[in-house]
Amino acid sequence: MIITNLAGRVTFVSEPVPGNQHDMAKLKESECEMILKLASDAIGDKGFIGTDYITTPVRKPQDRELYVREHDYNNQISSLRAPVERAIAHLKTWRILFTDYRRPLATFLSSFRAAIGLYFFKEGFA
């Protein structure tokens, strides 16, 4: 999980977790949950609907289309999330973070941590 500010600057990257878990399952009792609760104003995607501390878009009901006000609200949330999504895309330009890991699996965590450390080191000089 990645936490950024509204300007799109990455502030925290959690340890990697299995991809077959739902976003809420990954969030529960993690460092990210503590950080987001303390921040008091957090914006997330629809994977975090149901939390009381993350503002999320409105999900379309099965029986009707979104009302105009709900659609406008979702557009506002999306415009706030755009710099965040760009920051995540920028972080994923590091090859180790978006391709299949072709080294011994036991070395993945140290390689991941090194890539994240180098990213923050590079950003410190930008």
Cα gap 19→74, rounded to integer Å: 26
Cα gap 8→21, rounded to integer Å: 25
For position 46, what pLDDT does the model report?
87
Count how many domains the chain has: 1
The pTM of this model reads: 0.76
The answer to the question of residue 105 being in a domain is no
What residue type is assigned to position 57 of the chain?
Answer: P
The answer to the question of residue 98 being in a domain is no
Q: What is the token pair recorded at 61?
A: 């009901």
The answer to the question of residue 125 being in a domain is no
Q: Beta-carbon neighbour count of residue 115 at 10 Å?
A: 15
Of 17, 38, 37, 13, give the one whose Cα is nearest residue 26. 17
Q: What is the token pair recorded at 9?
A: 């600057």
Give me the tens of pLDDT residue by residue for the chain, a chain 126 residues long: 888 988 888 899 888 877 777 778 888 888 888 998 888 788 988 888 888 888 999 999 999 999 999 999 999 999 999 998 898 888 877 777 766 777 777 888 888 888 888 888 988 775
Range of the domain at 6: 2-91
Cα gap 83→9, rounded to integer Å: 8
- Beta strands in the chain, from DSSP E residues, in sequence order: 2-4, 10-13, 42-43, 54-55
